[in-house]
Amino acid sequence: MEIKRNILLNPGPATTTDTVKMAQLVPDICPRETEFVKMMHKIRKDLVQVVHGDLEKYTSVLFCGSGTMIMDVCLNSLLPEGKKILIINNGAYSARAVEICEFYGLPMLELKFPVDQTPDLSIVDETLKDNQEIALVYATHNETGTGILNPIREIGALAHKHGAVFVADTIASYGMLPIDIEKDQIDFCMASAQKGLMAMTGLSFVVGNTALIQQSAQYPKRSYYCNLYLQYRFFEEKGEMHFTPPVQTIYALRQALDEYFAEGEEAKWKRHLSVFEEIHTGLKRLGFRDLIRRELQAGLVVAVQYPDDENWNFEQIHDYCYERGFTIYPGKIAEQNTFRLCALGAITPSDIQQFFAILEEGLRYYKIQIPVLYQ
Ligand SMILES: *Cc1c(COP(=O)(O)O)cnc(C)c1O
C-alpha cells in the first residue's frame, strides 16, 4: 500500500514512518488477552528506559488521550490535602497547567516570567523558601509556543531542596532531547506518543517515581477516569489500563519504540538537530526573523515573526504549502504574530530544503518581497 508522505512541521502530531502506520493493521484482539498484556508490560518498561530510569525506582503509567490529559492527571492526582502547587509559567503550555489547576480549584501559586526568557531561578528559590506549603513544582521543558528550553534540572534541584515534588512537562522533548530522569532531578515527566516517539495520537503517559505514586493513594481523588494512582494500581494488578485502551495505537507505539531504540538516542537527536539547523538556514536565506534568542532555543521549535509586508497572509501561505505536502503551524504567543516550524518527526534536512523551495515559490506567488521585510 502506498501512503502519501506529508511533512508535518507543526508541533505534533509528527510525520511517522510507514512501518509505524502499518503496525496499526493487526488482527482484531481483545486487549484483555495475555498476548496484549505482555506487550503492555514491555512497553511500560521501555518508556522508563527512554529516560534512563531505574526500574526499581520508576514506573510508567499510560492513559488514553492527548498530551493535555496527562498534564491533567499529574496535576489533579499529585497534590496532598492542604498543600499548594507552584507553576512556573513562561509560555502557553505552562499557562495551560495554570488553567487545569483553576478548573479543579487546586491551591496554586503562579510564577509568571516573560515568554522570551528562561525563569529567574533566584525568584523560584525565594518563592519556595517563603511558601513552605508548596508540595508540587511544575515546569515545562521545551515551551512549544516559543521553542525556549527551560532549565528543568535546576528547577528540579530547587524543588527538592525545599522538599517538594517536581513534575516536568517533557511532552515535546521526550524521545527527542536526551533526558535522564534521575540526573535531571525529575520525579514525574510526561509525554505523548505522537511527539518525540513519532507514533500515533491518542496515547499519553507519565514516567514517575513509584514510591511517590504509591504515596498518592492517600491524596484526594479529584477525577474518576484521570487519577494516577487508580490507573497505576490497575496496571500493577491486571497489567493493563483500567478501561478500554486504544488497541491499534498501542501496536503503533510498540513499533515506534523498536524504531526509537534502533535509531538510538544520540543519533536521533543529531538528526533532529540537523533538521533544526536546516530550518534556520532556510529562514535566514529568506530573511525571516525568529522570536527567541538562538542560544535559548531547545532545538525543537522555531517561532518565526510575521514579516511586515502588506501581502503577507499566513493562511494563504499555509494553504500553498499544505497543497504541496508541507504543514506549517500558527503561533501561540498573545502579543506577537508568529508561526512555527518544528524539527519533530521522521524527517530529514532534505525534506526541509524541499519545504523552503515551496515556501519561496509561495512567497513569490503572493508577491511577498524576498528577503522578507521587517520595519
Ligand atoms: C504538545 C504538547 C502538550 C499537549 O498537547 P496535546 O495537544 O494535548 O497533545 C503539552 N505540553 C507541551 C509542551 C506540548 O508540546
How does pLDDT run across 82-102, given as a tens digit for each residue?
999 999 999 999 999 999 999
Q: Assign 215 a pLDDT band (cuts: 50, 70, 90).
A: very high
Assess whether the C-beta atom of 192 lies below 6 angstroms from ligand 1. yes
Closest C-alpha residue for ligand 1 atom 5: 67
pTM: 0.97
The tens digit of pLDDT for each residue in 166-175 reads 999 999 999 9
Assess whether the C-beta atom of 171 lies below 6 angstroms from ligand 1. yes
Distance CA 322, CA 325 (A): 5
Distance CA 281, CA 171 (A): 26
CB neighbour class for 28 (10 Å; exposed up to 12, middle 13-18, buried from 19): exposed
Atom of ligand 1 nearest to the CA of 172: 15
Assess whether the C-beta atom of 118 lies below 6 angstroms from ligand 1. no
Q: What percentage of the chain carries pLDDT values higher than 90?
A: 97
Distance CA 47, CA 190 (A): 10
pLDDT of 290 above 90: yes
Assess whether the C-beta atom of 66 lies below 6 angstroms from ligand 1. yes
Q: Assign 358 a pLDDT band (cuts: 50, 70, 90).
A: very high
* Residue 64 DSSP SS3: coil
Assess whether the C-beta atom of 11 lies below 6 angstroms from ligand 1. yes
Q: Assign 16 a pLDDT band (cuts: 50, 70, 90).
A: very high
**106: CB partners within 8 A, 6+ apart:** 75, 76, 79, 85, 222
Distance CA 146, CA 194 (A): 19
Distance CA 340, CA 359 (A): 13
Atom of ligand 1 nearest to the CA of 141: 13
CB 196 within 8 A of CB 144: no
Assess whether the C-beta atom of 170 lies below 6 angstroms from ligand 1. no
What is the whole-number distance in angstroms between the Cα of residue 172 and the centre of ligand 1? 7
pLDDT value of position 331:
86
pLDDT of 335 above 90: no
Which residues on neighbouring strands pair with residue 340, listed in sequence order?
A: 303, 329
